Amino acid sequence: MSAVDVTSVALRPARPFSSRFFRSELGMIFGRRRNQVALVVLAAVPILIAVAVKLSTPRPGDGGPQFISQITQNGVFVAFSTLTIVIPIFLPLAVAVVSGDSLAGEAGSGTLRYLLVVPVSRARLLAVKYASTVVFATAATMLISLVGVVIGLIMFPGGSATLLSGATVGMGEVLWRLFLSSLYIAAGMAALAAIGLFISTLVEASVAAMATTAGLAIVIQVLDSVPQLHVIQPYLVSHYWLSFGDLLRTPMVTDDVVKGLFVALAYIGIFGSLAWARFGGKDVSS
């Protein structure tokens, strides 16, 4: 939030149920150039995948990421393939940048202490920062899916599709499952955003918070790939991120999806509480 925004808020009476602060935060996040670049890069991934598949024409049974071989049968699978590719690094990196900057950016620029003297409680400030990050994560996920569907249907056939279980369903059912998959992935990113928010309360340099959150996401996924650590892997925030593939079966296999949602809620609760405990007693007067 800029100094002008802070001044304008300070001159107005407190409105506990006003969405102005939230809308201002969303405007700042989506108006920031680096976040716009991140969205453009994420939107470009499905286009690159569609072009690559169009030029190479993979066959069923070929190697590569999940869903790639099904793109030529139905263009909607461009979206599923892109989600599989961006989940390990690109999408967590974008979320890490926004969540890491949420409070550390305000502290580094000196605007955080001004925010706390206007009629905004620390709890509300923290909630708005987190909610805005979740909106960005959800928007980024939905953007990938939308661009994937559009470019996929432009370059490849549409209509009915064969799911991972071998059943054939109509286009509407495929799009519905893509929507559910996108929401599930957004929930996983919301858990990472809670971690980033907590880290952002610990430092005053936004770059440090961004790098720490992104690095932690990568380290966690490395740990998740080591077979010897199978005991702790179900409790890692990234363990169930790719389980959205189970939604592409008939009937839907929701065991891992439900576990993934519980893990995400647990991380949101734990790190949200830690962020509130840290930020609630943080001295920002200097």
211-264 pLDDT per residue, tens: 999 999 999 999 999 999 999 999 999 999 999 989 998 888 899 999 999 999
Q: Does residue 61 register a pLDDT over 70?
A: no
Q: How far apart are CA 282 and CA 116, in angstroms?
A: 11
**pLDDT tier at 6 (50, 70, 90 boundaries)?**
very low
> Is the CB of residue 87 less than 8 Å from the CB of residue 185?
yes
What's the CA gap between 23 and 12, in Å, rounded?
16
* Residue 50, pLDDT above cutoff 90: yes
Q: Provide the whole-model pTM.
A: 0.86
Query: Quick check: 42 pLDDT over 70?
Result: yes
**Section 105-120 average pLDDT:** 63
Work out the angle between the directed axes of helices 171-202 and 90-109 (0-180°, nearest 10).
40
pLDDT at 105 (0 to 100)? 74
- Tell me the DSSP string of 84-124: HHHTTTHHHHHHHHHHHHHHHHHHHHT-HHHHTTSS--HHH
Closest CA to 192 of 80, 84, 94, 123: 94
Confidence band of 14 (pLDDT split at 50, 70, 90):
very low
The amino acid that residue 9 corresponds to is V
